[in-house]
Structure 1
Amino acid sequence: MTPKNKGWGGIAVAVGVGLWLVHSGSHDVTPPMPSAAEAFAAGPGVHTDAAADPLAPSVPVRLRIPEIRVDAPVMGLGLGRGGSLEVPPAGDRNLAGWYEDGTSPGAKGTAIMAGHVDNARGPSVFYSLGALKKGHRIEVTRRDGRTAVFTIDAIEVYEADTFPDEKVYGPSDRAELRVITCGGGFTRKTGYQGNVVAYGHLIGVRPSGRA
């Protein structure tokens, strides 16, 4: 199941409003944003790296992004009453979410994961998402004991009113992953104005117990 486009629009506000920046008065210090060099060079759908065969579906339980020191448990997310994606509790700064009615990470299709960029106490799980580069790795450990390893194809930032729903959430014929948090412009009145999105695809699988 892929959420309807109108429902996904709510994610731009839902995963972070800059509470730490507002409360601390640090509105001149914002999370790292991806450079133009990390965007798609030829547009999404142009596959330049080898992809691993998709796995059978399995619930993700942990997410690791070594380059930005993310090592977080994963909780399932649904859609809220207004059709937007639910988000992890803001009070837990080290918790990622996965849209559990969609594709599971490593299975064929587009898996969606989201998390906060900050809360009132400081940076949260995806604060440094925009610092990632093409070729960095994202690892998702699943309930079946296997770890799906993704390579990053691009990191892009979008303003809320031009968020490309189909590009981000559309179907894929291979195992792909999107990791999303707040980003873009920031004001103390309205918070973050958009989102940072990391695009990745499956390149390998580690069996249970292997580091």
Structure 2
Amino acid sequence: MVGLLLVVVALLRQEPAPPQAPTVGAGTESSASASDPGSTSRPTTPESSQPTSTPEATPTALPASEPTRVRLDGRGIDGNVFPISLADDGTLPAPSGARKDDAAWYDGSPTPGQPGPSVIEGHVTYGGEPSVFFELGAVQKGDRVTVDREDGRTAAFEVYDVARFPKDAFPTEGVYGNTAGPELRLITCGGSVDGEGRHADNVIVFARLVDDV
């Protein structure tokens, strides 16, 4: 159930219910401006060249290499990652078919460890069962996210924020905007589910590169 300014299909039945991240304004750091929630076009880079976050120290960026696996030890998150492209209509599809329970890296974003925000999406549930990012709402500041790459290196990121945003206030600049160094965004759905099976919110994890192996 993923919402990156995209058309998604959510589910009515979720048993057990996934953990819920705090909503914006409940002590989170996120302060990115929201964009038009009705847009389903390609995410665009903000015109400003200023970073949206400023880490105290920036580790050396890694060369390009696509992600193959994402893990959050202690949170029950461990999934394969595959690249996903925009559809012909300019929307970003959610994982489906044989890869419905895998995470998907948006191939229009940097690869994990490159400068800028690398974006990985995944379902919270699929077919009424927990999916790859079912526990994303339980992630906390300071948690470590590791992403294996095709070149054999593993990029490690530290979470600095996790929040739940209404889909009509998706923080486009905060997700896709320029950053001072390599960062990671993990995105799934959350919040209440309406009568048509659509989630009201997005759960978004914000993390910074701290190391690589």
Whether the TM-score (by the shorter chain) exceeds 0.5 is: yes
For normalisation by structure 2, the TM-score amounts to 0.80
Equivalent of 2:116 in 109, 122, 137? 109
CA change 1:68–1:116 in 2 (3 A) is same
Distance of 1:166 and 1:41 partners within structure 2? 11
CA change 1:187–1:85 in 2 (3 A) is same
Q: Which amino acid aligns with 1:189?
A: E
Which residue is equivalent to 1:153?
A: 160
> 1:185: Cα distance to partner?
2.5
Distance of 1:161 and 1:90 partners within structure 2? 28
Deviations 1:173-197 (A, max 9, x none): 3000000001123223242012100
CA change 1:38–1:98 in 2 (3 A) is farther
Distance of 1:123 and 1:41 partners within structure 2? 27
Which residue is equivalent to 1:31?
A: 18
Cα-Cα RMSD: 2.4
Q: Which amino acid aligns with 2:29?
A: F
More off after superposition, 197-206 vs 185-194: 185-194
Distance of 2:104 and 2:12 partners within structure 1? 19
Whether the aligned pair in 1 keeps the contact of 2:52 and 2:177 (CA below 8 Å) is no
Whether the aligned pair in 1 keeps the contact of 2:95 and 2:101 (CA below 8 Å) is no
Which residue is equivalent to 2:35?
A: none
Whether the aligned pair in 1 keeps the contact of 2:12 and 2:194 (CA below 8 Å) is no
For normalisation by structure 1, the TM-score amounts to 0.81
What is the aligned-residue identity percentage?
34
- Whose helix fraction is larger, Structure 1's or Structure 2's? 1
Distance of 1:91 and 1:190 partners within structure 2? 22
Q: Which amino acid aligns with 1:159?
A: P
Which residue is equivalent to 2:67?
A: 60
Confirm whether residue 40 of structure 1 aligns to residue 33 of structure 2.
no
Whether the aligned pair in 2 keeps the contact of 1:38 and 1:154 (CA below 8 Å) is no
Runs of 4+ in structure 1 displaced over 6 angstroms?
A: 41-44
CA change 1:188–1:66 in 2 (3 A) is farther
> 1:167: Cα distance to partner?
1.4
Whether the aligned pair in 2 keeps the contact of 1:160 and 1:193 (CA below 8 Å) is yes
> 1:82: Cα distance to partner?
2.7
Equivalent of 2:11 in 15, 18, 41? 18
Deviations 1:109-166 (A, max 9, x none): 1100001110114010001101000000110000111000000010011111111111
Equivalent of 1:87 in 91, 94, 104? 94
Which residue is equivalent to 2:177?
A: 170
Distance of 2:31 and 2:88 partners within structure 1? 37
Distance of 1:46 and 1:170 partners within structure 2? 9
Confirm whether residue 9 of structure 1 aligns to residue 1 of structure 2.
no
Distance of 1:51 and 1:133 partners within structure 2? 21
Deviations 1:91-124 (A, max 9, x none): 6453110011220001111100001110114010
Question: 1:62 is paired with a residue of what secondary structure?
Answer: strand
Please list every run of 5 or more consecutive structure 2 residues that lacks an aligned counterpart in the other structure.
33-50
Confirm whether residue 186 of structure 1 aligns to residue 196 of structure 2.
no
Distance of 1:113 and 1:19 partners within structure 2? 24
